[in-house]
Structure 1
Amino acid sequence: MASPHLLKLMLSCRKITAQVTSPRTDSIVAMASSSEQEFLPQYRAKLNRFPRSHNFWDAKIASRIGEKLGLRLKEIGVSDVEIDLEEELSRPTHYKIMVISVFDSVKRMGIRVSGAEKLQSQ
């Protein structure tokens, strides 16, 4: 059996990006990001808020990014992805909450996320 596609998250205080790469070529097959058009009004509102926030995304936005990624994976026929558990476990606690939101949303779209169950038990 071929290794499953890899789901990787890139997180910063201003952006969250979820991408899935092909096991054979390491090329990106699907991606969703907080920089997409849908999220711009929320980003601008937080950018101009006082007092200023250093974190521009939350669990709700992370969840929506997971939904978008799940839909895109279904469209191309990918039903199983895996995460790099060591990388996810090394994240600061405040990021883990958002990461779990992304993974849960992808799972709700019918995509199996191998390794995510171990992350939630930590």
Structure 2
Amino acid sequence: EIGTDEAPSDRVAEVLRRHVGLELRGVEPVGSVEHLFTHRRLALDVFRARPVPGGRVRREGFVAHRWLRPEALLELAHAGATRKALALFGVTNEVSARAARDPRDRTPRRPRGASARP
């Protein structure tokens, strides 16, 4: 949907509006995440935005939808690329399923393969 000659930040609001009907405001880039699989490389641009008040998500093709507080995300299982994206927001410092973490250490660490926008 977003061509290689286009800036993702210019199109992210339009793409989400078209696919799930959600109107966004204040879209700003947070960083990028790169995740390596055995057979391919996944590169993601990560954004922060707020929904326009009163907006509703169109669930066509989706089983369910719910809004969560950032802290509630920690109760869910996430794949590696998602953990890296959450670390950019400072929600978690866990970037790997195998990462040993001291539960007292809440300092967000920039995951390998993730870069923050200035």
Fold conserved between structures, TM > 0.5:
no
Task: Please indicate the TM-score interval, normalised by the length of the shorter structure.
Answer: under 0.3
Structure with the larger helix share:
1
Scaled by the length of structure 1, what TM-score is found? 0.25
Q: State the structure with more CA Rg.
A: 2
